[in-house]
Chains A and B, each alone.
Chain A
Amino acid sequence: MRSLSIAATGMVAQQTNVDVIANNIANMNTAGYKVRRPEFQDLLYQNQRRIGSASSDVGTIVPSGVQIGLGVRTASVYRITLQGPLEVTDNPLDLAIQGDGYFRVALPNGDDAYTRAGTFQLSPQGTIVTADGFTVQPQIVVPAEATEISINPTGEVQVKLAGQVDPQNVGQLELTIFPNEGGMEALGNNLFAQTPSSGEPANAVPGTAGYGTLLQGYVERSNVDPVKEITNLITAQRAYEMNSKVITASDEMYSTVTQLR
């Protein structure tokens, strides 16, 4: 009886579903976190009676045949890249991206990584860095004597120096977009990396067509909707239970058979 193993694939799939939901809920307050959803697909089909086989000598054919599916599998866990809500922090180095794009940061090993969590700080040298201390690219150094930092929607970083009237330009932030955003690999710590399926990164100044703009003093929160997650959790739990019921029913059928005299 294949129903036992079919129901088992269903239970495994729902288990994955619950794991993904748990991770979403755990990251409800992570800056720039994008909600994840598993995508399920049906497994192979076995032909018991082939579609199109002749059902009589006159040539009538079986319209749909007997095909029995072998269950379900998790095809992918994709990210929903919708914009998260913005939250005011009033911290001059908190930057939210409105629209598409990622900040580019240099990892200690020299590779580039990408993030939407714009909770930046200054390093001891005055460089703009992420919460983990990785340098934001292109590198921007804020002079120690600066009294005020202002970053405009197109990413221009200006500082006001003591005793000077006009603000001074110290650098230009850039955003990066990918042909397939969903194909990026999550590295943890709010960071993503380029992969063969994400395509080549393209850098440009914020506000260019196809790129988002920056908002100073705001942080992009996670786009997790707790109500949706809890509803999904309940659905997943019920689906899991139903699959386990199928196993019980198949088992009962088996036991009826073994009681044959």
Chain B
Amino acid sequence: MQNTSYIALSRQMTMARELELVANNIANAETTAYRGERMMFTDFLHDPDNAPQTHFARDVAVVRNLAQGRPIETGAPLDVMIDGDGYFQVETPFGPRYTRNGKFSTDADGRLITTTGDPVMAAGGGTITVPLNQGPIQVGTDGTVATDAGPLAQIALMRFDSDFQLRKTQSGLYATDAQPQEVEEPKLVQGMVEGSNVQPVVEMTRMMSLLRAFESAQKVIDTEHENQRRAVERILRQA
């Protein structure tokens, strides 16, 4: 008899969690290389003996939108955008991490680093050091970093069997236990960065429909409550 309320409640709980995802997407609408997320739902089928089946809502996974973010032109020579598949590999104190944020700079030793201060890895391992007095830095579409004196190194671009093998950690870095492979035909663009792929209008619409669905689930609980109260009253009157 309590199932109606519990089913509505399971839906409400998942919706509250989904709103948190929407909130995070909107908060990161201006975050470089951020990829929006949405919740994947399944219904949890409860099939007890001698009773009709009941469906409960359940959030099983967060699905990342893997669409390319909008390109933003910055003109900075050390800004590199990935056009298509792949991740930059960076060396952190906790091991290798992956990111699509190509907003690079150099550190005090001239090493190429990310905004988190971690060195960017070169193809085949090692970091990339840019000398001071060899003229402007050019980054080729294949990731080759060169100055007037010739090529220095190639920026590593890695891919995985499935992008969902990567889990998000903070600061736009992804961690994984999976083994990366080098992207065969890397495509990098110098002087641009990848913006967030969140579409604010879509997120706002989702948020409004979530809110209304939440309220309607509330209505179900209220109505169920009312029905039960009336049923009890009637039974008492009969008695």
Is B truly associated with A? yes
> Which A residues are within 8 Å of any B CB, using their own CB?
1-3, 6-7, 9-10, 13-14, 17, 39-45, 48-49, 51-52, 62-72, 75-76, 78, 80-82, 177, 179-180, 182-183, 196-200, 202, 204, 208-211, 235-236, 238-239, 242-243, 245-246, 249-250, 252-253, 256-257, 259-261
The answer to whether B24 touches A75, judged by C-beta atoms less than 8 angstroms apart, is no
The answer to whether B19 touches A249, judged by C-beta atoms less than 8 angstroms apart, is yes
Q: With A67-B62, A256-B218 in contact, is A246–B23 under 8 Å at CB?
A: yes
A242: B residues at CB distance < 8 A: 26, 29, 200, 203-204
Overall SS of chain B's interface: mixed
The answer to whether A49 touches B61, judged by C-beta atoms less than 8 angstroms apart, is yes
> Which B residues are within 8 Å of any A CB, using their own CB?
15-17, 19-24, 26-32, 34, 37, 39, 59-64, 74-76, 103, 105-110, 115-116, 132-135, 148, 162, 164, 167-172, 177, 200, 203-204, 207-208, 210-211, 214-215, 218, 221-222, 225
Considering the complex, give the chain A residue whose CB is closest to the CB of B208. Answer: A249
The answer to whether B171 touches A41, judged by C-beta atoms less than 8 angstroms apart, is yes
**Looking at B59, B61, B222, which has the most chain A CB atoms within 10 Å of its CB?**
B61
The answer to whether A45 touches B28, judged by C-beta atoms less than 8 angstroms apart, is no
The answer to whether A67 touches B28, judged by C-beta atoms less than 8 angstroms apart, is no
Per the bound structure, the CA–CA distance linking A212 and B100 in Å amounts to 32
Per the bound structure, the CA–CA distance linking A66 and B177 in Å amounts to 18
The answer to whether A250 touches B106, judged by C-beta atoms less than 8 angstroms apart, is no
Per the bound structure, the CA–CA distance linking A65 and B40 in Å amounts to 10
A17: B residues at CB distance < 8 A: 30
Q: With A39-B103, A210-B135 in contact, is A249–B167 under 8 Å at CB?
A: no
Residue from B169, B208, B214 in contact with A256 in the complex, judged by beta carbons closer than 8 Å = B214
The answer to whether B214 touches A6, judged by C-beta atoms less than 8 angstroms apart, is no
Q: With A3-B22, A42-B24, A249-B211 in contact, is A69–B168 under 8 Å at CB?
A: yes
The 3 A-B residue pairs with the shortest CB-CB distance in the complex, in nearest-first order: A10-B27, A210-B133, A199-B108
